Amino acid sequence: MTDLSKIRNFSIVAHIDHGKSTLADRLIQETGTVKERDMQAQLLDTMDIERERGITIKANTVRIDYTADDGETYVLNLIDTPGHVDFAYEVSRSMRAVEGSLLVVDSSQGVEAQTLANVYHAIEADHEIVPVLNKIDLPASEPDRVAEQIEDVIGIDATGAILVSAKTGEGIHETLEAIVNELPAPKGERDAPLKAMLVDSWYDAYLGVIVLVRIIDGVLKKGDRIRMMHTNAVYPVDRIGVFRPQMEPIDELGPGEIGFLTASIKQVRDTRVGDTITHEKKGCAEALDGFKPAQPVVFCGLFPVDNAEFEDLREAISKLSLNDASFSSEMETSAALGFGFRCGFLGLLHLEVIRDRLEREYNIDLITTAPSVIYHVYLRDGSMMELHNPADMPDMSLVDHLEEPRIKATILVPDEYLGDVLKLCQDRRGIQIDLTYAGSRAMVVYDLPLNEVVFDFYDRLKSVTKGYASFDYTIEDYREDRLVKMSILVNEEPVDALSTMVHQDRAEARGRAMVEKLKDLIPRHMFKIPIQAAIGGRVIARETLSAMRKDVTAKCYGGDATRKKKLLEKQKKGKKKMRQFGKVEIPQSAFISALKMDD
């Protein structure tokens, strides 16, 4: 049993690449939690894809014992959180389980957009925040300027900010002392009925579902029967333990502690994140405030390149959704691509990560259709339907109006690129809300339509600012606009996988770009192929793919011209007939390239 006043629960928040995971490594190393020979970089990032991309995707936790300068031994529970906007859901969850945060800011780059977003999560959760300026070993480091920027932009006192180099280990001892002295101890009553918060859960092939819990009141022991207050399900606890990155079983968890339990739960779906766990008998009276479940924002179709792999894909998707509550999927069929799944994601990085994991961990080659968002379609009879896939759009004569989701985007950008960023946002139908300065950097706030952002906004933003801009968004509301469905016809047959929703003013340019691209991608056939972009019954762009010809007059040497004519006429008739019955084969590679739309 650990004394409450000797426990500190904290998380590390920062923008991508400002060094949270490296700082976590140093804290673990400094306290000797992991033997030197087991130490590796980014110790808490366990997935291959996290290591390869150098980003944190799942929040991870570790328990550290630290003997402070005052001679007392403290238990520190650290939760390492992701920095990317798509995983903000993971961040807000982790914040509720701890009392304080280390705010890590790169002392050469300063405050970025996601630094702000993640700090606001911490402030909402009433955290005590300790600013840490990392990377002071870099020649470009300017700790004084960055400390000033933290005060200006976030409004936190940064005079006592700790100067750290997580790479060399400088300032790590001071960081540990600050955690002990400046962050509050958790509150909780040992004798009260058990009240524990379910922070996260994931599936393990040997142990079933592992549940990460933070005990608020009461004590959880091995063998207890627990009840989930949201689902009312009852389970016997098989084992209890803590992470010192590896699992270590213990007998009981008391108030203020963070640990895991297994209770022969079969499916992650049965463990709602944010749920309250209590004892079956003598439980606590009321549940804790849950989290709001994550809403998928971007939808796209995932199809196997080889249709025989459909069953493997179904199994892989069901396994992935076991561990990722924010990823949703349903079956769909497409005339061009066969059977597949319509999947919902929190953003484009989330989509890429899931796609990479499916291809890498389950060896399936995938085709991804163009990402789209949810539109609200209001019909003339007064009803409203949600449109996930442009191919399901009802007949326009039945539709009264369409609404699309709008976002509030915050972009931080160095002054010299500001013009390009404003132009990019204007081109994407943005409405400027605010423009302020934080030091030498401009902070622009824009109201943008989400469907313009999911396409390739992030890539364009990075390229016009040479990678210096940082971008963060929140979804605001739905608003009416003049949106239409654009279909692509190949040889007068609509190709459902290529239909997209576009704004009326943009439709012609987008349609022309698409047909020009397809003209280069579809191989030539023995007959002419028209490629058209159409809205309703009106064709807005067309390209014609010319036919391949066989030289039928090659065997005529000299002689009468009518012989050649006769052969050519015969060929012409054959081509006409072929065009009526000929099928156009669109290769898979053409789909993949056509859906990667560039400006």
pLDDT digits (tens, 9 = 90+) for 195-251: 888 877 777 777 777 888 888 888 888 888 888 877 778 888 888 888 877 778 888
pLDDT at 482: 84
pLDDT digits (tens, 9 = 90+) for 125-165: 788 888 888 888 878 778 888 888 778 777 777 777 888 88
Q: Which of 175, 241, 150, 169 lies closest to 204, judged by CA?
A: 241
Q: What CA–CA distance (Å, rounded) separates 99 from 102? A: 11
Query: 58 near 318, Cβ under 8 Å?
Result: no
Q: Please report, for the chain, how many H helices and E strands are present, in that order.
A: 13, 32
Judge whether residue 310 has pLDDT over 50.
Answer: yes
pLDDT band at 93 (very low <50, low <70, confident <90, very high): low
DSSP tag of 391: G
Judge whether residue 90 has pLDDT over 80.
Answer: no
**Ordered structural domains, the chain, with CATH:** 4-182 (3.40.50.300), 195-279 (2.40.30.10), 298-369 (3.30.70.870), 391-481 (3.30.70.240), 485-595 (3.30.70.2570)
Average pLDDT over residues 555-576: 78
> Which segments are annotated as binding site for GTP?
17-22, 134-137
pLDDT at 192: 81
Average pLDDT over residues 245-271: 79
Average pLDDT over residues 26-45: 59
pLDDT band at 591 (very low <50, low <70, confident <90, very high): low
Average pLDDT over residues 556-578: 77
pLDDT at 43: 47
Burial class (CB in 10 A: 0-12, 13-18, 19+), 179: buried
Judge whether residue 48 has pLDDT over 60.
Answer: no
> Which segments are annotated as binding site?
17-22, 134-137
Average pLDDT over residues 481-488: 84
pLDDT at 598: 46
pLDDT digits (tens, 9 = 90+) for 499-516: 778 888 888 888 888 888
- Mutual orientation of helices 348-361 and 310-323 as an angle, nearest 10°? 120
Average pLDDT over residues 30-56: 52
**CA quadruple 511, 516, 517, 518: dihedral, nearest 10:** 90
Q: What CA–CA distance (Å, rounded) separates 511 from 361? A: 37
